[in-house]
Structure 1
Amino acid sequence: MADTTYDFDLFTIGAGSGGVRASRIAGGYGAKVGIAEEHRYGGTCVIRGCVPKKMLVNASMFAEELSHAHHKGWTLKDNSFDWATLRDFVNGDVDRLEGLYGQTLGGAGVESFSERATITGPHTVRLASGREVTAKYILVATGGEPVVPAFEGSEHSITSNEIFYLDEFPKRLMVMGGGYIALEFAGIFNALGADVTLVNRSDTILRTYEQEIVKRLPPVMEARGIDLQLGAQIEKVEKAEDGSLNVTLTNGTTKQVDQILVATGRRPRVEGLGLEHAGIELGAKGEIPVDKFSKTSCDSIYAVGDVTDRVQLTPVAIREGHALADSLFGGNERYVDHSCIATAVFSQPSIASVGMTEEEAREAHGEINIYKSDFRPMKNIFSDRAERGLYKMITDAATDKVVGLHMIGPESAEIIQAAAVAIKAGLTKADFDATTAIHPTMAEELVLLK
């Protein structure tokens, strides 16, 4: 299949989830593929994102289980937590996964370059070593990077890139942001024993999620000991002689903390990429505009994943990369349907969602029906806190088709994955009702909604 006119049939810049999948599948089709990565193979998700973060979530949730183990008949003595042990285990597994990514690429015949690459033309890429290579197609899969807003003393803060490598456990942590990254890390460190303050510029958190569900979370966070400073921003940070940080918020509140995590959003990672040499202009948010087949305004250059700012989720990037390889080298032109994608926030308790919010459904369908279940999960009976779950289903009144499902409670992400298949397939509320429940479970609420 290789086109000898070029050094490579496909050259990928960025070895994250989307770039690796596209390169591996293309190599499997017989294409000659090269890939360049200046940091570590695996990208944001594997190295400094969802994989190590979920491991921290799992570890921190163990603390919650320990807190009410006595109600289950267990007597536990001398419990203690060691940050270094957890940190090193998590990063050790990240190293293992990075190695597997390299093996996967090598097994598909992909030539890897552990260096920065920039675009110098529609078919040319220059490596940091000075070598210039040509490719029939170029794929940009450089992902995204954290954004740190401007405030006095911002240099004393860290982002999600650094949080996994802290030398010392922050006994007092301030988290700035109201999105899923901020809420997840606030929950993690609170459960592990830190004194956590969450600062968000508005009173609304998780603004793209179903707000009736989201409103359940702040009271739970406060009951678990998190100080919520909503409607405020960090105004100034001063470093004290002992290394602690004195923080002044715009609402007048002052706090002394050991670490500040800024999680106020991410932007496409495109700086210095050389897109202008191929006539590609960035979008309003700094993203690379692409069509449904992931092609840019330059016919030989494609982009997938967070750098396109379509849907910033690892499974989406993987699907986009796979579809691209199928289209270019597999004789199967296809694209990814970005509608009805299930998502989750691994807060404590977790939130999961698929389909339209109530507001979106009313706008799209006019007449809708809403069904809910407000319940206390059985596992929460052991806790001294009366935390309740809430499931909400939205249907199109004209067809009975389920167009949205939203939930907060233990294991929400695990439960909604199967339900997302049914909703994506266009099943109705009647189909859910006709399904026999598994009792006693939390998931059974999905087929008992009123």
Structure 2
Amino acid sequence: METFDLLVIGSGPAGRRAAVQGAKLGKSVMVIENRLRLGGVSVHTGTIPSKTLRETVLNLSGWRERGFYGLAYRVKKDIEGKDLGARLRMTLNHEIEVLEHQFARNGVRTFGGMARFLDTNRVCVTAPDGDETIFGFSHAVIAVGTAPHRPSHIPFNDHSVVDSDSLVTEPRVPRSLTVVGAGVIGIEYATIFSALDVPVTIIEPKETILDFIDREIVEEFTHELRQRGMTIRFGAKVEKVELDDQGWAVSTLADGRRIRTDMLLYAAGRSGATAGLGLESCGIVPNDRGRLKVDPVTFQTNVRNIYAAGDVIGFPSLASTSMEQGRIAALHACGAPMPPAPEFFPYGIYAVPEISTVGLTEQEVRAQGIPYENGIARFRETSRGHIMGLESGMMKMIFSLETRKLLGVHIVGEGATELIHIGQAVLNLGGTLDYFVENAFNYPTLAEAYKIAALDAWNRMPHTTPIAQIE
């Protein structure tokens, strides 16, 4: 039996970063992956495929140019599933090659198969051909990710009724689409297909969406979706889904309404992929959705030498945060110093348009009783926005009235997930409104929105310095 200092189950963002960090500390590392190729959910069915699909759709549809050339403008007239799949396969292969090279360069061993804990220091790995191999370990990191929740009453057939996995495995462009669930995944795919001019209906049982995002940003976002023809049914619950004689999906809502579309995407939640791991053999008990509870600082489970990181531990379930969780887990497991975690990290939602946010929302600022002022900038107010033909998009910045410190940045629109990092840096370094007012930004750029929003807030804040001296 081979024994390793660190054994990692799963090769997605959390497992990948944990493995490389352990190797860089001079530890022997083994990664177990139950897919035929490395990469985990992120590379095969999650982050990379969905963002690749988004970029392909925006390019082929001519979406970014319609502000100039009209709503009928398209780069390719008839976009089919094969157009989407070609770029997906190229991107997937590239990501896997990069990961394999990274593991090889750092001396990380890999083994294909399904891992099952025998006790707190051994796993049995069943290979695709049925052979079993036992590995020992000093510490382990569970980074198996999640799988789409598939209720038994939904007639999945991976063609007209799909989940987010089967949607990208064999992509096609439906004539119409119903999306059940307005979480991050549902919203991303709904808006991506809407950019292809597919009629889209979103069904969400709650009265709100994206509750962790600033409400003003969500209102701006939903207004834009409705303006371009998307149907959003808040407070609506799907009672039943059936297939009609033509194979179309017919959704019956609790209020009796029926919605018939060529395809239905069920995106109402995901479950931790912990079934079959034999967690009972080492005393770890997942919750009813298969997720694991960990220490929020070290990412240890209740078993001290076994850690968990990434989507399998729940919110925020972002690739970026999963990487950092995996790295911290490996540092703690290997007895290395752990840097203090940054107070704020960004969220990115790759919808069309993008949403990105960092720091406190206006609702959180109010709840904490902090005197504040907002600054707003519209992308159409920037020269870069004019050049790009942008008709929508906004940045919202929140500042403390007492200290002038930046409290939060919230963006919806083109490039939001890239722009947010300026605000992230200033926020984590304790910067104030003055940074944005007194510093020069490249011209013309969308980043100028920071200066516009800061001056907008400054104009409403108590001050003694004449505005001419600042401008």
Deviations 1:119-150 (A, max 9, x none): 11110111113222211111111112222456
Contact 2:84 2:171 in 1 (8 A): no
The correspondence for 1:219, drawn from 223, 228, 232, is: 223
Post-superposition offset of 1:324: 3.1
User: C-alpha separation between the residues in 1 aligned to 2:156 and 2:165?
Assistant: 15
The correspondence for 1:195, drawn from 182, 186, 199, is: 199
Tell me, what secondary structure is at the counterpart of 1:376?
Answer: helix
Deviations 1:187-222 (A, max 9, x none): 111112322111111231111100111101222112
The correspondence for 2:322, drawn from 317, 324, 337, is: 317
Deviations 1:353-379 (A, max 9, x none): 001111112223532222223453567
Post-superposition offset of 1:390: 2.5
User: C-alpha separation between the residues in 1 aligned to 2:73 and 2:293?
Assistant: 58
Q: Aligned residue for 2:210?
A: 206
The correspondence for 1:54, drawn from 41, 45, 51, is: 51
The correspondence for 1:25, drawn from 21, 41, 47, is: 21
What code does the residue aligned with 2:321 have? Answer: V
Q: Aligned residue for 2:304?
A: 299
- Does residue 1:432 correspond to 2:428, yes or no? no
Post-superposition offset of 1:338: 6.0
The correspondence for 2:137, drawn from 135, 138, 143, is: 135
Post-superposition offset of 1:59: 2.1
Post-superposition offset of 1:380: 6.5
User: C-alpha separation between the residues in 2 aligned to 1:340 and 1:320?
Assistant: 14
Tell me, what secondary structure is at the counterpart of 2:368?
Answer: helix
User: C-alpha separation between the residues in 2 aligned to 1:348 and 1:168?
Assistant: 19
Q: Sort the Cα spacing of 1:350 and 1:208 in 2 relative to 1 into closer, same or farther, 3 A.
A: same
User: C-alpha separation between the residues in 1 aligned to 2:73 and 2:242?
Assistant: 44
Q: Aligned residue for 2:34?
A: 38
Contact 2:45 2:169 in 1 (8 A): no
- Does residue 1:108 correspond to 2:106, yes or no? yes
What code does the residue aligned with 1:322 have? Answer: R
Post-superposition offset of 1:68: 4.6
The correspondence for 1:83, drawn from 69, 81, 92, is: 81
Contact 1:344 1:353 in 2 (8 A): yes
Contact 2:5 2:28 in 1 (8 A): yes
Contact 2:249 2:261 in 1 (8 A): yes
Tell me, what secondary structure is at the counterpart of 1:88?
Answer: helix
User: C-alpha separation between the residues in 1 aligned to 2:18 and 2:311?
Assistant: 14
Q: Sort the Cα spacing of 1:380 and 1:27 in 2 relative to 1 into closer, same or farther, 3 A.
A: closer
Contact 2:17 2:326 in 1 (8 A): yes
Q: Sort the Cα spacing of 1:76 and 1:232 in 2 relative to 1 into closer, same or farther, 3 A.
A: closer
Deviations 1:324-365 (A, max 9, x none): 333444x63215626311112122222110011111122235
Post-superposition offset of 1:284: 7.2
Moved more, 255-264 or 118-127: 255-264
Q: Aligned residue for 2:188?
A: 184
Q: Aligned residue for 2:69?
A: 70
Q: Aligned residue for 2:395?
A: 391
Contact 2:242 2:249 in 1 (8 A): yes
User: C-alpha separation between the residues in 2 aligned to 1:261 and 1:414?
Assistant: 28
Percent of matched pairs sharing the same residue: 27
What code does the residue aligned with 2:58 have? Answer: M
User: C-alpha separation between the residues in 2 aligned to 1:354 and 1:114?
Assistant: 38
What code does the residue aligned with 1:143 have? Answer: G
What TM-score do you get using the length of structure 1 for normalisation? 0.90
Q: Sort the Cα spacing of 1:84 and 1:75 in 2 relative to 1 into closer, same or farther, 3 A.
A: closer
User: C-alpha separation between the residues in 1 aligned to 2:372 and 2:291?
Assistant: 35
